[in-house]
Amino acid sequence: MSASRGKHHDRPAFLARRRRRERWAESALGAAASVVVLIALGILLTLLSESLPFFRVVGLWDFLFDTEWTPLFERAHFGILPLLSATLLTGLLAMLVAVPLGVLTAVWLSEFASMRTREWAKPALELLSSIPTVVFGYFALLFVTPLLQQLIPGLPTFNLLAPSLVIGLMIVPYVSSLSEDALRAVPMDLREAAFSMGAGRWRAALWVVLPAAASGVTASAVLALSRALGETMVVAIAAGQQARLVFDPRDGAATLTTYIAQVAMGDVPRHSLAYQSLFAVGLSLFLLTLAFNVLGYWIRHRFGELSR
Amino acid sequence: MFLLVGLLAACGGPRSTGSVVRVDGSSTAYPLMEAVAEEFMRAQAGQVRVTVGVSGTGGGFKKFCRGDIDVAAASRPMAKEEASLCAANGVRFIELPLAYDAITVVVHPANTWAEELSVEQLRRLWEPGAQGALLRWRQLDPDFPDLPIRLYGAGADSGTFDYFTEAVVGKARSSRGDYTASEDDNLLVTGVAGDPGALGFFGFAYYEENATRLKAVRIRQDAVHPGVPPSRESVMQGRYRPLSRQLLLYVNMDHARDQVAIAEWVHFALLNAEPLIDEVHNIPLDALAYRRAYRDFDAALKAADELAMARVDSVPSSHGTDVR
């Protein structure tokens, strides 16, 4: 580097060329980034403008508080609550699987596993997220549900329990990978201090390192939650496609994403109310996951500062 | 990847004798259409390609009346609005019967109480007023157990839905909405087969294919007639009422005139319907009906030809627009 500068520093043409090149690269990178932002904005605008006519016909009050969702039928009801309840129930159950499994995996990977073990265990775990979700869907329908039917008599084929458990398994890598990064970022002195106080490895890991990494772990859980809420294929395949207000995971139900997939694949005429309802549901899903993403971001930054 | 496939298809198209027959429509007729297409392509030794879509009867008619496809398979006759859409777009067509179907009402094999249901009971179960109200078997009949009833049925895009609601509720497309509605009949089969409280309806072929996992309900038309199970005999003798119906083909006559392959496909379908229908568990018409349909189609083809000739003679410039 210094040699080449010695050779060229008296040639301004070269420097100008390099500057031009740099500037060009910079603007290309900037353009790439702004394309992504613009697309996201475009999606939001489309959702808003297409669902506006929907909300002109269906009042916001009905949309938020009606307990039935039957937009394609004679008694059309447009209450988002059934879809929302199924979505949140799925997300909650998935988190009950993903958070303990993911966090414990992360603790093991960062605090206990040897370098060699970690080298193959981590990619193996991340392999889980490269399996197509349609495979997970059929896994839930054809393997998990029959298994659960042995344990829970009267469990219908389409239920929320099986797909939720499978989604929970599916998002373990999201939790474990990000949590492990957070755990490994905890300064070594904290561990050493704990050991010098007589703590064993378990005690140090669970009572000192994990709390210190709490912000990162929580953020990973929140990101995994928005992934679970947006999951489509697994629930569309294994949870049935009937919109109903659910509190019992043994029932089948349609989530926000199931409804979108179901209607988008059918042949609903454009500019009909059912067609516009797609965008209203899409907007709801967008706002829901956005809220959780913002929450995750906020937690990471807010508590990230405190723990340092 | 898709782009590549598209490019290959685009290259391959014109080099073969150039023929694609585009079929779309009813999911009930899909197994039959698929079987006909397969046999036909084998008979043509790959010279003709047949694509079969599953948009549902309503979806198929929409495409048909835009001129996007050559043949629409339907599980109900074309509605007036659809016919006028065809007319507005200058699509001339012929309707040909192809097979019978029996909309089959099914329950779980462990269901011992609902061996037979009356049309009246089905109406009470499926009418819009039942939405959120009729939720347990006992409400349907005091002798039935007090179990929740879970419903599975054809989705709002399907001809089965149109036909069932018209035959049972009395008005097409009038139905409760709180049931598992899908255009995918296999999903409905899976749902009913795994749920002891279930009741569902779909085409006969899907029932017979899964007869070990499902139980068909006998249908009692009114107080006078006894309950009738869906079967080849009961349908062909006209006793399975009101849920038996014809599967129909709609052929775009201008396309059929311009492309020999389409006419050949129709001939093939009508000549080979009986064995293929058996294979896919549909119910055949009587042999005479196929011969009549064959004759009708040929007559229509000839008429379309003459009409086109006459147009070419009188107003040559209009020909181009008419083909569409």
Mean pLDDT, rounded, of chain B: 87
Q: Which residues of B touch A138 (CB under 8 A)?
A: none
Q: Is residue B232 part of a domain?
A: yes
Cβ of B193 within 8 Å of Cβ of A157? The answer is yes
B294 inside domain: yes
Largest separation between any pair of C-alpha atoms in chain B? 74
Q: What is the pLDDT of residues B163-215, one digit of tens each?
A: 999 999 998 889 998 999 888 888 899 999 999 999 999 999 999 999 999 99
Whether B253 maps to a domain, the answer reads yes
| Cross-chain Cβ contact B173/A74 below 8 Å | yes
Q: Answer whether residue A304 shows pLDDT above 70.
A: no
Domain that holds residue B136: 104-242
Q: Which of A65-74, B103-112, B251-260 has the lowest mean pLDDT?
A: A65-74
Of A242, A244, A266, the CB nearest to B183: A266
Is the pLDDT reported for residue A224 higher than 80? yes
Does residue A118 surpass a pLDDT of 50? yes
> Which residues are B250's β-sheet partners?
B72, B95
The C-alpha of B131 sits at a distance from chain A's nearest C-alpha, in angstroms, of 8
pLDDT, residue B17, reads: 52
pLDDT for A10 equals 61
CA distance A269 to chain B (A): 9
Stretch B145-156: mean pLDDT: 92
Which residue among B225, B242, B259 closes a domain? B242
Nearest CA in chain A to B147: A154
Q: Tell me: pLDDT of B300 over 90.
A: yes
At residue A9, the pLDDT reads 57
pLDDT-above-90 percentage for chain B: 67
Q: Would you state the pLDDT for residue B71?
A: 96
Determine the distance in angstroms separating the CA of A8 from the nearest CA of chain B, rounded to an integer: 46
Q: A116 is written with which tokens?
A: 């060699």
CB contact under 8 A, B56 and A266: yes
- Chain-chain contact of B55 with A157 (C-beta, under 8 angstroms): no
pLDDT class of A305 with cuts at 50, 70, 90: low
For residue B14, the model assigns a pLDDT of: 37
Do B237 and B200 share a structural domain? yes
B175 and B95 assigned to the same domain: no
Cβ of B131 within 8 Å of Cβ of A244? The answer is no
Mean pLDDT (chain A) is: 89
The whole-number pLDDT of residue B4 equals 41
Tens-digit pLDDT profile for residues A288-301: 999 998 988 888 78
Encode pLDDT of A227-263 as tens digits: 999 999 999 999 988 888 999 999 999 999 999 988 8
Q: CA nearest A243 in B: which residue?
A: B178
Q: Which of B59, B178, B183 sits opposite A242 (nearest CB)?
A: B178
The CATH number for B289's domain is: 3.40.190.10
- Of the three residues B210, B242, B274, the one that is the final residue of a domain is B242
Are B202 and B235 found together in one domain?
Answer: yes
Residue A306 has pLDDT above 70, yes or no: no
CB contact under 8 A, B181 and A242: yes
B318 within a domain of the structure (yes/no) = yes
Same-domain pairing of B24 and B139: no
Interface membership of A77 toward B (CB under 8 Å): yes
Q: How far is B302 from chain A (nearest CA, A)?
A: 34
Identify the residue among B68, B169, B182 best suited for mutation to test binding to A, counting A beta carbons within 10 A and taking the highest.
Answer: B182
Helices (H), chain A: 2-8, 12-57, 60-65, 81-107, 115-127, 133-139, 145-151, 161-170, 172-184, 188-196, 201-203, 210-212, 214-230, 233-238, 256-265, 273-307
Shortest CA distance to A256 belongs to which of A295, A227, A283, A238? A283
* Same structural domain, B94 and B151: no
Q: B194-233 burial by CB neighbour count: b if 16+ within 10 A, else e?
A: bbebbbbbbbbbbbbbbeeebbbbbbbbeeeeeebbbbbe
| pLDDT average, residue stretch B80-92 | 92
Percent of chain A surpassing pLDDT 70? 94
Per-residue model confidence (pLDDT) at position A179: 93
Entry pTM: 0.78
In the stretch 127-156 of chain A, residues with CB closer than 8 A to chain B read 141, 145, 149, 154, 156
State how far residue B234 is from chain A, nearest Cα, in angstroms: 32
What pLDDT score does B114 carry? 94
ipTM more than 0.90? Answer: no
Same domain flag for B291 and B250: yes
Residue B2 has pLDDT above 50, yes or no: no
B319 in a domain, yes or no? yes
Q: Could you say which of B198, B226, B242 is where a domain stops?
A: B242
Residue A299 pLDDT = 84
**Do residues B95 and B108 share a domain?**
no
The number of helices, as runs of H, and strands, as runs of E, in chain B is 14, 12
Element (H, E) at B217: none
List the single best residue of A237, A242, A255 to mutate versus B (max B Cβ within 10 A).
A242
Residue A272: the pLDDT is: 83
The predicted model gives A280-288 an average pLDDT of 94
Percent of chain B residues topping a pLDDT of 70? 90
The pLDDT of residue B183 is: 80
Q: Is B156 on the interface with A (CB under 8 A)?
A: yes
Q: Is the pLDDT of residue A302 over 90?
A: no
- CA–CA min distance B109, chain A (Å): 14
- pLDDT bin (cut points 50, 70, 90) of residue A127 is confident
As for how many domains chain B has, the answer is: 2
Which amino acid does the sequence have at A121? A
* Statement to judge: residues B29 and B139 lie in one domain: no
Quickly tell me which residue has 């990494």 as its tokens: A213
A177-219 pLDDT tens trace: 999 999 999 999 999 999 999 998 899 999 999 999 998 999 9
pLDDT band at B251; cut points 50, 70, 90:
very high
pLDDT tier at A75, thresholds 50, 70, 90: confident
Tell which residue, B278, B28, B279, has the closest CA to residue B153: B28
CA atoms within 13 A on the CB side of B107: 17
Residue B313 banded pLDDT, cuts 50, 70, 90:
low
Q: Give the strands of the sheet with B150-154, arranged side by side.
A: B180-182, B150-154, B198-202, B104-107, B215-216
Do B75 and B117 reside in the same domain of the chain?
no
- Same domain? For B187 and B286 the reply is no
The answer as to whether B218 is a domain residue is yes
User: What's residue B314's pLDDT?
Assistant: 62
Candidates A251, A284, A285; CA nearest to A55 is A284
Question: Residue B213: what residue type?
Answer: R
Examine the domain organization and report whether B281 and B151 are in the same domain. Answer: no
Of B62, B180, B196, the CB nearest to A267: B62
Which residue do the tokens 């492990």 mark?
A180
Rounded mean pLDDT of A109-134? 89
Q: How far is B193 from chain A (nearest CA, A)?
A: 8
Question: Is residue B158 helix, strand or coil?
Answer: coil
In a domain, B4, yes or no: no
Task: Flag whether residue B58 sits within 8 Å of chain A, measured between CB atoms.
Answer: yes
Average pLDDT, stretch B56-61? 88
B221 with B269, same domain?
no
Confidence of residue B88 (pLDDT cuts 50, 70, 90): very high
User: A267, B197: Cβ pair inside 8 Å?
Assistant: no
Average confidence (pLDDT) over A47-76: 90
- Indicate whether B3 belongs to any domain: no
For the residues of B15-28, what is the DSSP string, one character each? HTT-EEEEEEE-SS
